[in-house]
Amino acid sequence: MTKAEKVNFVIDTLENIYPEVPIPLDHKDPYTLLIAVLLSAQCTDVRVNQITPLLFAKADNPYDMIKLTQEEIKEIIRPCGLSPMKSKGIYELSHILIDKHQGEVPANFVDLEELPAVGHKTASVVMSQAFNIPAFPVDTHIHRLMYRWGLSNGTTVQQTEKDAKRLFPEEKWNKLHLQIIWYGREYCQARGWKLDNDIITKTIGRKAAINEYLKNQKK
């Protein structure tokens, strides 16, 4: 298969498996999505979705959030991990949204990435999922799958994002990155990976990744 044929195979297969794809983090608007994505750093989406209702019951907008202390925020979000850093980020970015953006989450990368605790990946998720602006957030699943599929060299998430944007049509980025995440969780996991269930890797996968899998199976 040529690389173009591999790309088309990925798109067609994922569209067949996930014609409709849900956003993993529960939210109701750009602000609650931003907070949920911030909390998801080194934490599962399942855990975040358990904690955000508790936080948003007290504050689901920046004006209410700054009425809480950092300590109060930290205690609520503690199960998500990294709570000192995350609570500081939530409190400070809420102030900035009020002071600089009339309480609204900005719909551009420059302003988003200037917010405390908001990196490029978080900004990309908000841009794509809250504002429907083309972006390709790369998480651990996408990073792993792009390498296994031979579509990226897998050395850095930055390179994986560049490769994904170069290979896949821009109009498909927002849906496709979610499809790849769900596929990675269900069929191409980091651990407990079953190649027979993984039609994409089995069909177009990098030989080194498949050989490593087969080698591990013999142990």
Query: Over the stretch 135-181, which tens digit does the pLDDT of each residue have?
Result: 999 999 999 999 999 999 978 999 999 999 999 999 999 999 999 99
Whole-angstrom Cα distance, residue 152 to residue 2? 14
User: 15 and 52: one domain?
Assistant: no
Q: How many residues does the chain have?
A: 219
Looking at the structure, tell me whether residues 146 and 122 fall in a common domain. Answer: no
Q: What is the CATH number of the domain that holds 40?
A: 1.10.340.30
Report the domain count for the chain.
Answer: 2
Tell me if 25 is assigned to some domain. Answer: no
Q: Tell me: pLDDT of 121 over 80.
A: yes
Q: What is the CA radius of gyration of the chain?
A: 19
Residue 7: its H or E element? helix 3-17
Same domain, 69 and 145: no
Q: Are 79 and 142 in the same domain?
A: no
On whether both 77 and 119 belong to a single domain, the answer is yes
Q: For residue 210, is it within any domain?
A: yes
Among the candidates 66, 99, 130, a domain finishes at 130
On whether both 88 and 170 belong to a single domain, the answer is no
Angle value at C-alpha 44, between 43 and 49, nearest 5 degrees: 105
CATH code for position 198: 1.10.1670.10
For residues 4-38, one letter each, b for 16 or more C-beta atoms within 10 angstroms of the residue's C-beta and e for the rest, the string is eebbebbbebbeeebeebeebbbbeebbbbbbbbb
In a domain, 58, yes or no: yes
Structural domain of 180: 3-20+137-217
Q: Check whether 218 has a pLDDT greater than 80.
A: no
Same domain, 35 and 126: yes
pTM of the model: 0.92
pLDDT at 133: 98
Please indicate, yes or no, whether residues 126 and 141 belong to a single structural domain of this protein: no
pLDDT at residue 217, as a whole number = 78
Question: Which residues are annotated as catalytic?
Answer: 121, 139
pLDDT score of 4 more than 70: yes
Residues 113 and 149 in one domain: no
Alpha carbon distance 63, 194 (integer Å): 47
The verdict on 161 and 78 lying in the same domain is: no
What confidence score (pLDDT) does residue 219 get?
62
Of 130, 163, 187, the domain-final residue: 130
For 165-171, which contacts have Cβ atoms below 8 Å and span 24 or more sequence positions?
A: 165/136, 167/3, 167/7, 168/7, 168/11, 168/136, 170/134, 171/134
Q: Tell which of 106, 130, 154 closes a domain.
A: 130
Whether 72 maps to a domain, the answer reads: yes
With contact defined as beta carbons under 8 Å apart, do 199 and 13 qualify? yes
- The model's pLDDT over 201-217, given as tens digits with 9 standing for 90+, comes to 999 999 988 888 888 77
Give exposure, 43-77, as e/b (b: 16+ Cβ within 10 Å).
Answer: bebeebbebbeebbeebbbbeebbebeeebbbebb
CA dist., res. 185 & res. 100, Å (int)? 38
Domain match, 97 and 112 both: yes
Q: What is the pLDDT of residues 43-102, one digit of tens each?
A: 999 999 999 999 999 999 999 999 999 999 999 999 999 999 999 999 999 999 999 999
End-to-end CA distance of the chain, in Å?
31
Whether residue 95 is found in the same domain as residue 141 = no
